[in-house]
Amino acid sequence: MYSLMRRAYWPEERLLQHQNRQVRSVVKYAYDNVPFYHRRLKEAGVDPSEIRTADDLNKLPILAKDDVRKNLEQMISKEFDVARLKRLRTSGSTGKPLHFYITWSEDEFRKAKHLRANMSCGQKPWDKWVLITSPLHFGEIKSLQRLLGIFVPTPVLVFYDVGTQVSLVEQMRPDVLDGYSSSLLLLAKEVKRRGTHMVKPRLIIGGAEFIGDSSRRFIEEAFDVPFYDQYACEEMERVAWQCKERHGYHVDADSMILQFVNDGEEVSPGESGEIVCTSLFNYAMPFIRYAVGDVGVPSDEKCPCGRSLPLMKVVEGRKDSFLVLADGQVMSPFAFDAAMCLFKFHDDIDEYRVIQRKADVFEFLIKMGREGPDERTVEEELLTHLKKTLNMSPEKASFRIRFVDSIPLDKSGKLRKVVSELGQTLE
């Protein structure tokens, strides 16, 4: 762990040398031992000796999720017995689940990467760590960790109602409160509604989904502590994270190559691009130029913390969560989130979900708080607000408002605010 922490401060030249060395190693290994990549490089007319640096990865085609699903057995190294590997899967919350394999040592490295991100924003080994999570992650703590009592999260089931979650967290009195960002937001709303002062963590860590700046500020105000955002995907584990400075997201560039691609070309700093990852530590089942399905913005700025790990500005959202309107215009879900945050009765709304029923039809499910204006007033004001804020003419889109008693979490236990039933992407 100490070695991994030191890596974050390597001189840039040393980090680049490490990346290039690992790129050469992973690509050659994949060509020699993984049938899928042997065939893929042959078809692309690329000899593995041509891949000398991270920039040379652009000679290789991008790996899509469907490529993995269709070629799973062929993507596993011939050197490993599948029965001895750890089988993981993505949640499938924004598409079909995807299965993949890692070694147990690779799994340990993934966990160490996770802890580095947490420690970089202030978590300590013996902190009381409460994690709002899925039961799937309950058994992933080593017995030695439990024996020593270091970095041992106490789970709170994400499927509990928010009232129960608050009561449990109050009893546990965590130093570190961690979990799905939307779950933390719901927790913060309940804490603020109750006016309780018993939940006093030293810091809050969120991830797994995208919430806007206003939602993060709400969480911070509710608990009166800083909120640190992390970006991860199941296939790579932790990808980028905020340190105490929160000057951007530090990319785990010592364990992966992160590219931001648009129309086949890497974008410039400050521009949006699809996130493409190459793992520098996966050998049992390599991921080389893998499109994770998200869109982000790279940065050429330096963080005041002194870490040399490069920064990304923001993760804009799932690529396939973007909405395509009837006239072809593409909108980010953040547009709807921002519009709702600016709504005059925003604080009176407990939860909401936007569903794109048709290219030009959006339904808003609204769960109101206990007190506030009547539903008719909210509906009239919201329709006027949406048309003005989103600048959508009646010809471009129509809005329907439906008031509900509850908005269910999706199958992965997350509260998705904006969904489309059309299955559109930015391809």
> Are 181 and 229 spatial neighbours (Cβ–Cβ below 8 Å)?
yes
* Inter-residue contact 336 to 215 (CB < 8 Å): no
Residue 175 CA to residue 232 CA, distance in Å, equals 22
Q: Token pair 């989103």 is at which residue?
A: 390
Backbone phi, psi, residue 241, to 5°: -155, 155
Give me the pLDDT at residue 93, please.
Answer: 44
Topology of the domain comprising 2-108+232-320: Rossmann fold (3.40.50)
Q: Supply 222's token pair.
A: 């509710």
Query: Mapped to the 3 state alphabet, what secondary structure does the chain carry?
Result: CHHHHHHCCCCHHHHHHHHHHHHHHHHHHHHHHCHHHHHHHHHHCCCHHHCCCHHHHHHCCCECHHHHHHCCHHHCCCCCCHHHCEEEECCCCCCCCCEEEECHHHHHHHHHHHHHHHHHCCCCCCCCEEEEECHHHCCCCCHHHHHHCCCCEEEEECCCCHHHHHHHHHHHCCCEEEEEHHHHHHHHHHHHHHCCCCCCCCEEEEECCCCCHHHHHHHHHHHCCCEEEEEEECCCEEEEECCCCCCCEEECCCCEEEEEEECCEECCCCCCEEEEEEECCCCCCCCCCEEEEEEEEEECCCCCCCCCCCEEEEEEEEHHHCEECCCCCEECHHHHHHHHHHCCCHHHEEEEEEEEEECCEEEEEEEECCCCCCHHHHHHHHHHHHHHHCCCCCCCCEEEEEECCCCCCCCCCCCCCEEECCCCCCC
Task: Please report, for the chain, the start and end positions of each structural domain, with discontinuous segments joined by +.
Answer: 2-108+232-320, 122-225, 322-420
CA–CA separation, 203 vs 418, rounded Å?
28
Class of the CATH domain delimited by 122-225: alpha beta
From the list 61, 1, 3, 4, the residue with the least C-alpha distance to 27 is 61
Domain at 322-420, CATH from 3.30.300.30, 3.40.630.30, 3.30.70.260, 3.40.630.10: 3.30.300.30
Contact of 130 with 158, CB cutoff 8 Å: no
User: Largest Cα–Cα distance in the chain?
Assistant: 69
φ/ψ of 77, rounded to 5, equals -60, 140
Distance CA 314, CA 304 (A): 17
Q: Do 2-108+232-320 and 322-420 come out as alike in CATH topology?
A: no
Which structure tokens are listed for 265?
């070309």
Q: pTM for this structure?
A: 0.75
Per-residue pLDDT of the chain (427 residues; tens, 9 = 90+): 768 888 999 999 999 999 999 999 999 999 999 999 999 999 999 999 999 999 999 999 999 988 998 999 999 999 999 999 998 877 544 445 678 999 999 988 998 999 999 999 999 999 999 998 765 555 555 555 555 567 888 888 876 778 888 899 999 999 999 988 878 888 888 888 888 788 899 999 998 767 778 888 999 999 999 999 999 888 888 899 999 999 999 999 999 999 999 888 999 999 989 999 999 999 999 999 999 888 899 999 999 999 999 999 877 655 545 567 777 665 666 567 667 877 888 878 888 888 888 888 899 999 888 777 889 999 999 998 888 877 776 667 888 999 998 887 665 455 667 777 775 443 3
Q: CA dihedral defined by 41, 42, 48, 52, rounded to 10 degrees?
A: -60
